[in-house]
Amino acid sequence: MAKLLRKFALLMWKNWLVLKRHPWVLIGEIIYVLSVLVLIYLLRRDYSVSEQETYYGYPQELDWRSFTSSGCASGDSKQIAYSPTSPLLHRMMVSSCTRENLTILEFDTKAELSEKISTDNQFVAGLNVALEFSDNLRGINESKDVPDDVEVTIRLPHKIDISDKWYSDRLYSYVSNMWGSSGQYAYERKFLRLQSYIMFFLAHDVDYIENFPTDNTIVSVSFPRPAILYDEFFGEENLSEPTFIALIICLFVYNHLVTIKKVASEKEKQLKESMKIMGLPGWLQWLCWFLQALLFNTVYIVLLLCMYTYIDPPIFVYSNGCILFLFFFLYAFSLISLAFLISTLFAKANANVLIGCFILLIAIFAYYSMVNRPEEKGASAPIVLLTSLLPTSALGFGMQIIFIYERIQKGVNWHNVATKPIPLDVSLRDIMLMLLADAILYMCLALYIEIVFPGEYGVPQPWYFLCLRSTWTSKPTYLRRRQVEQSATSNRESFEQVAGNRPVGIQLVNLTKTFGSHQAIKNLNLEFYQGQLTVLVGHNGAGKTTTLNAITGMLPPSGGTVYVNGYDVRKNITKVRDGMGLCLEHNVLFDELTVTEHLLFFSKLKGLDGKEAVSDVDKYVKALQLEEKRNSYPRTLSGGMKRKVSVAAALCGPTKVVILDEPTKGMDPSSRREVWNLLQEIKGGNY
C-alpha cells in the first residue's frame, strides 16, 4: 500500500507540473468558466421577483338566459344549428335566440349534423354555434321526460379558442403553478354561460327560466391562492429554463473535452504505455486523472452554488444546497467517466475529442426533443431513464425537476427528493441514481476496453480475463530451458550452447508475430541471461524492434510467448513489467518536464525515495554529460541529447531488466562511447 501511495503522489506531482507548464490553457479555462457564470448571472438579472397579495378569486356573473346575450351568437354569422328533432329543444332555441335575422337550423340526428359540419365548409363559415344533443332526446316534448343521461356537444367557432387548448380530457393541469390565472378563461369564451342555460332548460323548461328571480344569479369564481412571490424566471412562457440548462452544460464542457484530450494524448504519444512498462499500474493513472478532473469540476460546482445563493435575486431559493451539490457532483463524476471511455476508443487524441463533441450533441438533442411544453405530459419513466444513460440528458431532466419544485416554492429537499413531480414520471433521486450508474458503467467499460482492446500498443487480454487464475494470482509460469530446447529442434543448429547454468531473465518460446500477410518473427526461441548484455543485430526489417516490443508487451505475440523473470507476458503483464526499464526506438518524453524532472520521476516510479532518487539522477546526469541541460525541456534539446535522456530514464532506479532499442541513434561518436561505457559498468556491477 505504501508503494502505491508513493506512486500516486508521484503521478499527481507529474500532472501538476504538466498543468503548471501550460498556464495559458489554465487561464483560458478559468476565463471560460467565469464567462459562463457571468452569463448565468445576466440571465437571472433580466427576470424580476415581485410580491403578490392574497388572491380570493375573480367573481364573474353569468348572464345565461339567452344564447345571444352570452355572445355565442354574436358577430357576422347568422345561423345556429342543433340536433336532434325535438319540440323541447325547439322551444329552447326559439326562446333564447332573440337576435334578429338569426336562422335556427334543425337536424334530425346527431350524425346528420356532424356530417354537415365535416363536409360543408360554407355552412360552417356562417355558423355561430352547433349543439349536438344525444339522440335519446329525439321527439321529447316535456322536461320531465328528459332521460337521466344526456350528452351535449357544444361546437364553438375556432376563433374563440385561437391561442389555448382546453385539455378537457384531464382532471388537473400538468403545469405546476402557484400563481393561478386571471379567472376569466372560461368566462371570456362564453362557454359557462351557454352550458348553464342548457342545463337549466333541460331540467325546468322555458317557464322556469322566464320566471327565475332576477336577484338570483349564478357566479363563476376561480380558486383563490395565498400571497406569494411571483418570479418571472420560472414563468411558463419564457426561455429562461432551457437557456439556463444550456449554460450549465457549457460550464462543464470545457473540462470534459480537455480531459479527453490529455488522457488520449498520453496514449497517442506512448507515454502511458511507457509508464506502465516501467511499473505504473494502469488503474492508478486513471485515478490520478480522475481526481484532477474532479477537483476542477468541484470548484465549478461550488462557484455555481455560491452564485445561486448570493446573487440578487437568487436562482434557487427553496432547494437544499446539499442535494444540489450532490446532484452536480454525480453529474461531474459521470461526465469524467464518459471522458475516460471516449479516450479509449481511438488511437488519435483529436478523433476522441470529436467523438466527445458528437456524443455531447446527441445528449443535448435527446433531452431537448423530450422536454414537455406547457400542459403536455412528459415522457414515460423508462424513456427518461434510458435517455439518462447519457449524463448530459440526465442533467437536463434533473434540472427540470428542480425547476418544477422551485416554481411551486417548495424546492427539492430530503422529504421530496424521491417524489415524482408532475408532469414527469421520475424523481430527482431516480436521476441521481442513474448518474451514479452511468459513472460506474463508463468507468468499468473504460478499464475493460483498455485491457481487452489496448490498441496498437499493449498485449490484449482475453474477454474472459476476469475468470482466469492468472488475473488473481502472481504465481510464475516459468519454463525450464530443456522445454525451450525441445520446442526449438527445427532451428537448434542456429544457436550455440550456453556454458554453465546461468539464471535466465527472458525466454522467447516459439515467438511469432505477423502483420497482415507479413511475418516479422517466425518461431523464435531465445534466452537472455541475468547479468549479461544481449544484442540483437540485423538489417532493417529483420524484426529486432518487433521482438523487443513483444518482450515489453507493447505488441501482442501472434504465436508463442515470452517469459520475463518467469512470468508469461500474455497472462502476467503487470509482473513482467515490474522493475523494467525501456528506451524505445523513438524518444518518449514529456514536453513539460525538464531533464532532471524526467529522471527523478522514473527513479521514484521504480521505487527510489527522496535522497536516493536525487543521488541517482545526479549520477546519470554526470555519466551522460547532461549537467548543462539538466533544467532544459525536451523541445530545446538536440536529437542526441534527447536520446541520452531516454537512455538515462530506462537505466535509473532499481531496474531488473532494461530494454534499449537503438539507444545511440542520433548520437555523435563520443556520446556513443559514453553510453557503451556506462552499460559495461552497469553490467559489471560497478555502478
Q: What is the pLDDT of residues 266-323, one digit of tens each?
A: 888 888 878 888 878 888 889 999 999 999 999 999 998 887 777 777 778 888 989 9
Instruction: Report CA-CA distances (Å) from 184 to 53, 158, 176, 241, 383.
Output: 19, 18, 19, 27, 37
Find how far residue 644's CA is from the centre of its chain: 44
Give the span between the Cα atoms of 141 and 88, in whole angstroms.
5
pLDDT value of residue 459 = 66
The cell numbers describing 520, all together, are 516479422
pLDDT value of residue 374 = 46
| Closest of 278, 246, 136, 239 to residue 646, by C-alpha | 278
Alpha helices per DSSP H over 455-542: 469-472, 481-486
Query: Over the chain, what is the mean pLDDT?
Result: 81
CB distance 97 to 68 below 8 Å? yes
Give the span between the Cα atoms of 663 and 647, in whole angstroms.
6
The cell numbers describing 482, all together, are 530443456
**For helices 669-683 and 639-651, angle between their N-to-C axes, nearest 10 degrees:** 0
Phi, psi torsion values for 391, nearest 5 degrees: -55, -35
Give the span between the Cα atoms of 353 and 258, in whole angstroms.
8
Give the span between the Cα atoms of 567 and 591, in whole angstroms.
33
pLDDT value of residue 519 = 85
The cell numbers describing 244, all together, are 439556463
Instruction: Report CA-CA distances (Å) from 180 to 297, 395, 405, 535.
Output: 39, 29, 16, 87
Dihedral class, residue 553 (left if φ above 0, else alpha if ψ from -120 to 50, else beta): left
Structural domains of the chain, ranges and CATH numbers in brackets: 2-47+233-452 (no CATH), 60-220 (no CATH), 469-578 (3.40.50.300), 595-683 (3.40.50.300)
3-state secondary structure (DSSP) of residue 579: coil
pLDDT value of residue 395 = 94
CB atoms within 10 A of CB 223: 10
Which residues does 25 contact at the CB level (< 8 Å), separation at least 6?
A: 19, 258
Which residues does 177 contact at the CB level (< 8 Å), separation at least 6?
A: 236, 407, 408
Report pTM. 0.74
> DSSP of 119-171, one letter per residue?
H-HHHHHTEEEEEEE-GGGTT--SGGG--S---EEEE--GGGGSS----TT-S
CB distance 556 to 571 below 8 Å? no
pLDDT value of residue 301 = 93
CB atoms within 10 A of CB 289: 21
End-to-end CA distance of the chain: 30
CB distance 631 to 595 below 8 Å? yes
Which residues does 187 contact at the CB level (< 8 Å), separation at least 6?
A: 60, 62, 220
Helix (H) or strand (E) holding 19: helix 2-20
pLDDT value of residue 488 = 47
Q: What is the pLDDT of residues 29-68, one digit of tens each?
A: 899 999 998 888 888 777 777 777 787 777 777 665 555 5
pLDDT value of residue 163 = 47
- Residues facing residue 132 across a β-bridge: 83, 153
Dihedral class, residue 270 (left if φ above 0, else alpha if ψ from -120 to 50, else beta): left
pLDDT value of residue 341 = 94
pLDDT value of residue 160 = 47
Which residues does 639 contact at the CB level (< 8 Å), separation at least 6?
A: 587, 666
The cell numbers describing 396, all together, are 437536463
pLDDT value of residue 415 = 92
Residues in the chain with pLDDT < 70? Answer: 62-77, 97-101, 158-193, 203-217, 235-239, 372-378, 456-459, 470-471, 473-500, 684-687
